[in-house]
Every structure is written in C-alpha cells, then in structure tokens.
C-alpha cells in the first residue's frame, strides 16, 4: 500500500479540523482509498494549542526548515492564511519538491501564477480545492466534471457570512447592523467583518473560479465589487414583494473574448435554485454549453467541511500521478485578447425618494427614458417608511435589461434634477 | 499533444449528442485540455441516421470487430443501452484493451463486477459517469470530491420523468394519468413508462451510487422499490398543506454494517433543498461525516447533458493514466458482513377512509398505539373529497419516527378492523 506523509502548517480552525480528520479516518482511507496517510509533522506558533490537541511532541516541528528537510513528508498542507508567511512557506515546500495542498484563497488568487511555475519546475503538485467554497467540490467539478463544456456563466453564493446576514434580514426583517451583530455572536462573522461584508472574500474566490471556468486568468483587480453593508432591509422587503430574493453573488460571464466579472448584492427570482440557499450555506450555479444548468451546494466554511476539501486534495495527490496545472497562462495578467466588460447588461431595481408634488413622476420617467432605461414595473410606497426621510415618497422601479452605464447616467441625472434622490440601485439576474 | 481516437457504439439520442459535442468542441479540447480527440468510427444499425448526421462514410463501421481491430480507436463509447448487445460489445472492447466509457446504467448496475474484472486484466479503464444523473458529475464527486468522508446518507431525485410528473401533480393539481400523458407528449416519458414510473430506473442508479458511496456492493435486488403510479393527487395536496413536498427519492443510509436502500415516493419538508428541485431536473443530496450536507443539481437526462458526462469521462481517461476501479469487491454479491435493513425507521403519512360513526377515531388511534405508532398530527377531511368513496371520511395521520414493520402491522390491523381502510402510506424524510 502506498504510504504518504503529510505536514500541516497552521493548526487553527481548518488545520485542526484537517489534523483530526486525517487521524480519525486513517484506517478508513487505507480500506477505501488504498493509501496510508500519516501526519508526520505540524507547525504552529502556538505550541500550547498543539499540546492541548494531544499532538505528540515528536510531531511538533520547530520551523519550516525542519519540515522541508523531513524525507517522510511528501505533502505539505498550508492552512495558515494570509500571504506573507504562507507564501514563504509554500514556496519553500515547492522548491523542496513537496506537493502543496492549501486552503488559502488570497494566496492562490494573488500568486497562483508564480507558485504554479515553481511547482512545475520541481515536478510537484499545487492543489487548492479548499480555497473556494469549503467542502463543495467546485474546483474538482470544473477540472474533471464539466470540463467538456464551454462554461458561459457562473453565479455563486461563495461567502457564508454575508449569506447568513442577508438570510436574517430577509426572513426576520432585521436591519444590517443587527444581523451582523448576530452573525458575530454566532461566530459566522469576524470582529472586523470588512473582508466578508465588502465582498473581498467573494472577489478572491471569483477570481480563482472564473479563471478555471473560463480558461483565462481573471485577476481580482478586474472584478467589480460592491458589498452589503449599505443594504437597507426595506429594499429586501420591497424586492421580496415583487418576486425577488437578495443574495450577494459572485458573477462571471463569458462570451467570445468578453468577460464580465463582478461581486454585488443581487436580486434573483424566488424560484431560482440559488434563492433557497440560506443561512451560511454556499452554492455555485454554472451554465455550460452541453450540460446546461448545474448547481453545487454545501458548507462553504467551517473546520470539517473545509478539512473535507483539504483531505480530498491530499488523497487525490496521493492516488493520481499526473500533475495538472491551471490551463491558463502562468501569468498574473489576463491574456491580451480578453476584454473585461465594465459596461455589462443587467436588469435593475431602483429605489428613489421623490418629492410629493404634481408632475414629478412624469419628469422622472422622462429622464429614465432619455437615458435608454425602460421601466418594467413602478410602485409608489407610503410616505414615512424611512424615518429620517419621512417627508419624501419612496418609489420602486424595476427595469428591462439595459447597460450598466445607462443606469449610472440616469441615476446621476435624477440626482441632479432636484426631483428625486436615488437611494438604492440593485442589479437583477435571472 | 496527446492524440486519442474514439468509437461510438449506438448513435441515438446520447450517442448522437456525444458525437456532436466531440466534433464541435474538438479545437476547444485541444486548447483547454491539451488533448486531440477525434471520432475514428461509429457503429449503428441505422445507417441512414448516420448519413443524415453527415458522418463520413469511412467512419461508419460494419461491425464491432472492425472497431476492435482499429488501432486508432483508444476509447470505445457505448451508448446503446440495455444489456444484451451492449454487454457483448463492451466485453469485446475491454478484451481488446480498449478503455470503455458508457452511459448504460442497467449494464453497470448488473455487470460492473464482471466488466471491471475484464478491464483490470486488460489494463484498461471502465468509466460510467453518464450512467447516473446525466450531466451532474455525481460519480466524479463520490470518487474524487468527497472521498475523504464516510458518507452516511444519500437521497436523490434521479429520474426526470417521475419528477416532472410529480411537479405537475403538485403545482397544477392534475392527477397521475393526466400528468403522465403530458410527460409523454413532451418526450419526457416513454410510451411504456414502466421503468421510470415504477422506480426501476431509479433503482439501478441507486445501486451504482450507493455502492460507490458506501464502499460495498449494493445489488439492486436488495433495494426496496415503490413507484408513483398509485399516487393520488389529493395526497400530494394534503401533504403540501402540512408542510411537505412529494418526490420520488432514491435513498441510501449506512450506519455501521447496516445498509438501508429504497426507492419510493417520499414527503420532505418544503424547505429541504431537494423540495425545490422541479420539473425534469435531478439532484443528489449527500451527508458526509466531515463535509456535512452537499447537494448536486442539474439535468439528469437529454442528449447534451448526458454527452457532457460521457465526454468528461473521455477527457478524464485521456488525461489520467491511473486506472481506478470501484473499491468494493468485484463481486455481484454484497460483502457478507453487510446487513440490509428492511425494517428501517421513518416517519409516515397515512390516509385512511374511516366510517363516520361515534368512537371510530378512538378505536383507530388505539390500534395505532398498540402497534407502537405514535401520532404527530391528525386531521379529518370533509366527506366526499374522493368521488367513489364519498360515504367515508378521509383521515390524515402523520407519525413520529417508527419502524416500517410496526406501520405495516398497524395498517393490516386497521384494514382488518372493519372501521377503516388505509388508502395511502407515504414515508416522510427530513
């Protein structure tokens, strides 16, 4: 039976879950995968934590050099996070021809091109299923499951924190601040929630997943990003009434040489499969030219779901000898023929405050018309729904598909008109 | 670049879709998968169909021997269906050391043990992603995505015909016969719908998927099976009222050495992810000990979704040199220590007709109590809801978790009591 030794760098939530999974499933993997995987070393600044976990003294490494030099370590698992130490350690491991399995989205998003080059040169593997959407095998699916398809669209709920907050706001009508607080209390959100609520985490994942799906490098700097911290619970409720559920979506679309990548709060129809993905669950919805619609759903975070992805890569690396790298060019830059579209097409939900005077509505719709924005539905709400603005009348407008720039232009003109202020612009996908 | 030649046996719906996908994506696979896949031969009794598809004369083989002898054919795709000719041809291909990719669930369900032996002996591969749930990469996920988990539960909507019929009955209140007719008109159901509506198709798929998930052979003969042809639209409506959606589920549960495998109409809560899988869509819901809940959703049938799975296997076979066979013993029989549980545990929905006389209800609940069946909810419906039985009163009962045999016993006693007749027994999963 094949023997494989692993080292774990960073034994926190994910690293700890990985350690426990590997130890408790050792015999199960011998039986079902014909591979004998043992943890040969662990590395963490917090020695007490390692001891509290009952990890034997002789497994606790003093530094990365000790792990690199250990001939029993075939695979190095990096679950440190961030890009400083993690990048240094991963680089050292790859240079020592050790295959690396990582859960680090920021590292892969920013440096996969560089790290893959080193891996190739040293004939070892670089695996990162756990970097995106936790336990959901989305990377394996893109590489080995739907690889026969030209994928033209990808929409994902890839961040559990924001999905939990939006679910709360939708189901209980709580406002953003309260929902965030509850998420923090439950451990779903960090003390500083910026990376999650501003869509930065989703952006890293979209960069990785869309690069794989579209076979071209999609740098995160090309991704339009908008978070959920400005979302008003009333808009969620208004949208719900007219048939839409709000989700923070990571969206990638690919047609010809045009690519449109963005992270933003989005209304989707209630009957869209993504609309019923609630709480901290994640899902990715793909459209391929042969397979049609495919969705993968599951836990996007947490010790054991993420460990499941890490261990899946370890077993894969241990049982497959081919090393397959991303097929896009090993370069941080996109290929030169790819056009990133900032002026994409979408439908829109707009909430305005308008002056309660005769003729205002006609003038407002006139401005929209001149900007090429056609209205599907318009609905005036009772005065006083928004405390501070109780004098003005909320007006909800949904539009046909139109260009992002046309809507931006219309919003600027409406705000300048003195008749209305545009309070919310939410894109609608179907 | 690696060159791979394929032959397609049976150029019907799936074979035709596969041919077209391979031809139209030839350059795409060269670019994205670094493999040059060409169709070297096709075999079909219906030569005119091949000619109508524009397939060149020189690709049309006269018989299987010609394909076996063709040194340019590395991979044989079997999309004939059934077990007679398909088994003969697949066996011949494997004996000639050609890797086989098949979409044939019946063949794999009944003969994978035998065919894998031949494949092993000849150092070639046997792939069958397309045999289960069309374009949804469920087999790849079980083998390479969630393989780090001990899977303890699997529930799937794995037949599009019955899901279409049940969706119709649920959404429009149509009865079974009418919904079936519509499914036939749309091409979702065959003229003889038996294999679909009686759960035979689902049974084959459950045998394959649960064998892989549970790492032990699950012969289809061990699967309890009940179809949907006896389902009354009123039960769907009654269940809907109390929070349940009806689906034909393929269920596998695995705990210790006990395995419980069954196909039957099932009520699941409206908010269960499987409940919103509608029309002809399919989905498989897994629970693993590390990953927790995972669901895969997509098209379970159709020319191109199924071709996506076939082609995925072809690319996988072309780009991975390891041959990985099912890890359960190559035997048609289950391993001897596995216990198949026919007396499984479930909650139940019961519809009875009861006599409209004093004390009947008390006696009925008494019988249930004596049989160990505890009631969660009981609701009497107005007389006359069922034409022919308009004298008797429909009574709906849902139960706590109980043993299948206790319910069977209770049903027999109720029917023998002269007070009631049990008209529907539907299992509830959560």
Could you tell me the CATH number of the domain that includes residue A364?
Answer: 3.30.70.260
Q: What is the ipTM of this complex?
A: 0.95
Picking from A29, A141, A144 by the largest number of B CB atoms within 10 A of its own CB, the best residue to mutate is A144
- Asked, for residue A37, whether it belongs to a domain, the answer is yes
Asked if residue A327 has pLDDT above 80, the reply is: no
Across residues A347-362, what is the average pLDDT?
90
- Contact between B383 and B392 under an 8 Å Cβ cutoff? The reply is yes
User: What average pLDDT does the structure give for chain A?
Assistant: 94
- Asked, for residue B39, whether it belongs to a domain, the answer is yes
Q: Do A316 and B144 touch (CB under 8 A)?
A: yes
Structural domain ending residue among the three candidates A79, A114, A131: A131
pLDDT, tens digit (0-9, with 9 covering 90-100), for A172-222: 999 999 999 999 999 999 999 999 999 999 999 999 999 999 999 999 999
Kindly state whether residues A165 and A122 are assigned to the same domain.
Answer: no
- Asked, for residue B319, whether it belongs to a domain, the answer is no
Kindly state whether residues B23 and B43 are assigned to the same domain.
Answer: yes
Q: How far is B283 from chain A (nearest CA, A)?
A: 9
A393 vs B93, higher pLDDT: B93
Scored b (16 or more CB within 10 A) or e, B367-386 reads bbeebebeeeeeeeeeeeee
pLDDT, tens digit (0-9, with 9 covering 90-100), for A102-133: 999 999 999 999 999 999 999 999 999 999 99
Task: Enumerate the residues of chain B whose CB falls inside 8 A of the CB of residue A321.
Answer: 321-322
Task: Enumerate the residues of chain A whose CB falls inside 8 A of the CB of residue B170.
Answer: none
Report the alpha-carbon angle A82-A318-B133, nearest 5. Answer: 90
Question: Helices A200-214 & A105-121, crossing angle to 10 degrees?
Answer: 40
Task: Enumerate the residues of chain B whose CB falls inside 8 A of the CB of residue A280.
Answer: none
Between strands B375-380 and B393-399, the pairing is antiparallel
Kindly state whether residues B181 and B273 are assigned to the same domain.
Answer: yes
Q: Do A148 and B291 touch (CB under 8 A)?
A: no
Asked if residue B328 has pLDDT above 60, the reply is: no
The beta-carbon neighbor of B291 closest among A141, A289, A298 is A298
Q: Which residue of B has its CA nearest to A303?
A: B290
* Partners of residue A395 on adjacent β-strands: A352, A380
pLDDT at residue A360, rounded to an integer = 86
Q: How far is A154 from chain B (nearest CA, A)?
A: 14
Asked if residue A271 has pLDDT above 80, the reply is: yes
CA distance B231 to B240: 14
Could you tell me the CATH number of the domain that includes residue A289?
Answer: 3.30.360.10
pTM for this one? 0.96
CA distance B118 to B273: 40
Domain hosting B19: range is 2-131
CA distance A228 to A247: 9
CA distance B415 to B407: 12
Residue for token digits 């082609």?
Answer: B311
Q: Do B144 and A141 touch (CB under 8 A)?
A: no
Confidence of residue A315 (pLDDT cuts 50, 70, 90): very high
Q: Do A297 and B302 touch (CB under 8 A)?
A: no
Q: Which helix (H) or strand (E) holds A282?
A: strand A281-288
Active-site residue identified among A87, A105, A110, A205: A205
Count of CB atoms situated within 10 Å of the CB of A374: 12
Q: Which residue of B has its CA nearest to A26?
A: B148
CA distance A265 to A199: 9
pLDDT, tens digit (0-9, with 9 covering 90-100), for B152-197: 999 999 999 999 999 999 999 999 999 999 999 999 999 999 999 9
Task: Enumerate the residues of chain B whose CB falls inside 8 A of the CB of residue A314.
Answer: 148
pLDDT at residue A249, rounded to an integer = 98
pLDDT at residue B337, rounded to an integer = 86
- Contact between A334 and A250 under an 8 Å Cβ cutoff? The reply is no
Kindly state whether residues A218 and A255 are assigned to the same domain.
Answer: yes
Could you tell me the CATH number of the domain that includes residue B9?
Answer: 3.40.50.720
pLDDT, tens digit (0-9, with 9 covering 90-100), for A366-391: 999 999 999 999 998 888 776 655 67
* Partners of residue A6 on adjacent β-strands: A39, A75
Confidence of residue A359 (pLDDT cuts 50, 70, 90): confident
pLDDT at residue B181, rounded to an integer = 97
pLDDT at residue A336, rounded to an integer = 83
Across residues B258-285, what is the average pLDDT?
96
Q: Do B135 and A290 touch (CB under 8 A)?
A: yes
Structural domain ending residue among the three candidates B79, B113, B131: B131
Q: Do B141 and A137 touch (CB under 8 A)?
A: yes
Assigned token pair, B133: 């749930």
Assigned token pair, A73: 């370590």
Q: Do A294 and B298 touch (CB under 8 A)?
A: yes
pLDDT at residue B359, rounded to an integer = 85
Q: Which residue of B has its CA nearest to A212?
A: B32
Kindly state whether residues A155 and A126 are assigned to the same domain.
Answer: no
Q: Which residue of B has its CA nearest to A141?
A: B137
Task: Give chain A's domain count.
Answer: 3
Assigned token pair, A383: 């005065």
Kindly state whether residues B143 and B81 are assigned to the same domain.
Answer: no
Report the alpha-carbon angle B155-B175-B186, nearest 5. Answer: 75
Alpha helices per DSSP H over A143-300: 160-172, 176-185, 194-197, 200-214, 233-241
CA distance A47 to A338: 48
pLDDT more than 90, % of chain A:
89
- Asked, for residue B63, whether it belongs to a domain, the answer is yes
Across residues B128-138, what is the average pLDDT?
96
The beta-carbon neighbor of B316 closest among A29, A144, A149 is A144
Distance (Å) of CA B319 to CA A221, B73, B312? 32, 16, 11
Scored b (16 or more CB within 10 A) or e, B61-83 reads beebeebbebeebbbbbbbbbeb
Asked if residue B327 has pLDDT above 60, the reply is: no
Asked if residue A275 has pLDDT above 70, the reply is: yes
- Contact between B2 and B34 under an 8 Å Cβ cutoff? The reply is yes
- Asked, for residue B35, whether it belongs to a domain, the answer is yes
Q: How far is B244 from chain A (nearest CA, A)?
A: 16
Kindly state whether residues A153 and A289 are assigned to the same domain.
Answer: yes
Across residues A338-342, what is the average pLDDT?
91
Picking from A194, A175, A197, A178, the residue whose alpha carbon sits closest to that of residue A186 is A178
Picking from A136, A148, A216 by the largest number of B CB atoms within 10 A of its own CB, the best residue to mutate is A148
* Residue ranges with strand state E in B226-356: 244-255, 258-269, 281-288, 292-299, 339-340, 345-354
Kindly state whether residues B156 and B291 are assigned to the same domain.
Answer: yes
- Contact between B22 and B37 under an 8 Å Cβ cutoff? The reply is yes
Kindly state whether residues A75 and A143 are assigned to the same domain.
Answer: no
pLDDT, tens digit (0-9, with 9 covering 90-100), for B386-395: 665 567 889 9
- Asked, for residue B45, whether it belongs to a domain, the answer is yes
Asked if residue A10 has pLDDT above 90, the reply is: yes
Q: How far is B294 from chain A (nearest CA, A)?
A: 4
Backbone angles phi, psi at A423, to 5 degrees: -100, -25
Is B205 considered catalytic here?
Answer: yes
pLDDT at residue A381, rounded to an integer = 85
Kindly state whether residues A185 and A251 are assigned to the same domain.
Answer: yes
Across residues A223-235, what is the average pLDDT?
97
pLDDT, tens digit (0-9, with 9 covering 90-100), for B30-51: 999 999 999 999 999 999 999 9
pLDDT at residue A329, rounded to an integer = 60
pLDDT, tens digit (0-9, with 9 covering 90-100), for B191-248: 999 999 999 999 999 999 999 999 999 999 999 999 999 999 999 999 999 999 999 9
pLDDT at residue B332, rounded to an integer = 73
Confidence of residue A352 (pLDDT cuts 50, 70, 90): very high
Which 8-state DSSP code applies to residue A103?
Answer: -
pLDDT, tens digit (0-9, with 9 covering 90-100), for A393-424: 899 999 999 999 999 999 999 999 988 999 99
Confidence of residue A242 (pLDDT cuts 50, 70, 90): very high
Asked if residue B116 has pLDDT above 70, the reply is: yes
The beta-carbon neighbor of A148 closest among B21, B278, B299 is B21
The beta-carbon neighbor of A305 closest among B291, B312, B327 is B291
Kindly state whether residues A127 and A148 are assigned to the same domain.
Answer: no
CA distance B6 to A146: 19
Q: Do A293 and B299 touch (CB under 8 A)?
A: yes
Confidence of residue B385 (pLDDT cuts 50, 70, 90): confident
pLDDT, tens digit (0-9, with 9 covering 90-100), for A52-69: 999 999 999 999 999 999
Distance (Å) of CA A60 to CA A15, A100, A373, B175? 14, 19, 63, 66
Active-site residue identified among B98, B105, B168, B205: B205
Picking from B27, B156, B167, B290 by the largest number of A CB atoms within 10 A of its own CB, the best residue to mutate is B290
Q: Do A308 and B149 touch (CB under 8 A)?
A: yes
Task: Enumerate the residues of chain B whose CB falls inside 8 A of the CB of residue A307.
Answer: 148, 290
- Asked, for residue A313, whether it belongs to a domain, the answer is no
Task: Enumerate the residues of chain B whose CB falls inside 8 A of the CB of residue A327.
Answer: 32-34
Q: Do A294 and B293 touch (CB under 8 A)?
A: no
Q: Do A271 and B276 touch (CB under 8 A)?
A: yes
Structural domain ending residue among the three candidates B271, B299, B327: B299
Q: Do B145 and A140 touch (CB under 8 A)?
A: yes
CA distance B135 to B402: 37
Kindly state whether residues A269 and A194 are assigned to the same domain.
Answer: yes
Confidence of residue B358 (pLDDT cuts 50, 70, 90): confident
Q: Do A144 and B137 touch (CB under 8 A)?
A: yes
Number of residue pairs across A and B with CB atoms under 8 Å? 181
pLDDT at residue A386, rounded to an integer = 67
- Asked, for residue A390, whether it belongs to a domain, the answer is yes
The beta-carbon neighbor of B148 closest among A25, A34, A288 is A25
Q: How far is B148 from chain A (nearest CA, A)?
A: 5
């Amino acid at each position: 039976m094949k023997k494989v030794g692993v080292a774990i760098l960073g034994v926190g939530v994910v690293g700890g879950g990985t350690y426990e999974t590997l130890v408790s499933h050792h015999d199960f993997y011998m039986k079902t995968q014909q591979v004998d995987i043992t943890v040969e070393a662990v590395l963490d600044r917090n020695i007490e934590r390692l001891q509290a976990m009952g990890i034997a003294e002789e497994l606790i490494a003093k530094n990365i050099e000790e792990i690199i030099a250990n001939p029993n370590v075939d695979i190095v698992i990096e679950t440190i996070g961030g890009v400083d130490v993690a990048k240094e350690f991963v680089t050292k491991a790859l240079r020592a021809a050790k295959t690396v399995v990582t859960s680090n989205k920021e590292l892969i998003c920013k440096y996969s091109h560089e790290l893959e080059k080193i891996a190739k040169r040293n004939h070892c593997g670089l695996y990162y299923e756990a970097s995106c959407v936790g336990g959901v095998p989305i990377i394996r699916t893109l590489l080995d499951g739907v690889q026969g398809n030209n994928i033209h669209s990808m929409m994902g709920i890839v961040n559990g924190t924001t999905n939990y907050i939006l679910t709360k706001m939708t189901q209980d009508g709580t406002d953003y601040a309260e929902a965030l607080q509850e998420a923090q209390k439950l451990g779903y959100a960090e003390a500083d929630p910026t990376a999650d609520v501003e869509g930065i985490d989703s952006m890293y994942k979209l960069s990785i997943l869309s690069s794989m799906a579209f076979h071209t490098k999609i740098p995160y700097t090309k991704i339009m990003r908008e978070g959920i911290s400005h979302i008003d619970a009333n808009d969620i409720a208004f949208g719900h009434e007219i048939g839409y559920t709000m989700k923070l979506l990571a969206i990638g679309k690919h047609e010809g040489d045009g690519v449109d990548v963005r992270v933003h709060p989005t209304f989707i129809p209630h009957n869209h499969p993504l609309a019923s993905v609630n709480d901290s669950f994640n899902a990715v919805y793909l459209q391929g030219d042969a397979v049609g619609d495919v969705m993968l759903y599951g836990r996007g975070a947490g010790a054991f779901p993420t460990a499941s992805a890490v261990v899946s890569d370890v077993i894969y690396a241990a049982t497959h000898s081919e090393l397959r790298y991303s097929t896009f060019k090993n370069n941080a830059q996109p290929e030169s023929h790819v056009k990133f579209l900032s002026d994409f097409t979408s439908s829109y939900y707009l909430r305005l405050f308008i002056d309660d005077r005769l003729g205002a509505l006609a003038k407002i719709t006139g401005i929209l018309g001149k900007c090429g924005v056609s209205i599907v539905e318009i609905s005036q709400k009772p005065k006083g729904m928004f405390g501070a603005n109780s004098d003005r009348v909320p007006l909800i407008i949904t539009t046909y598909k139109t260009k992002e720039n046309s809507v931006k232009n219309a919003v600027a003109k409406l705000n300048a008109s003195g008749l209305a202020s545009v309070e919310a612009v939410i894109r609608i996908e179907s």
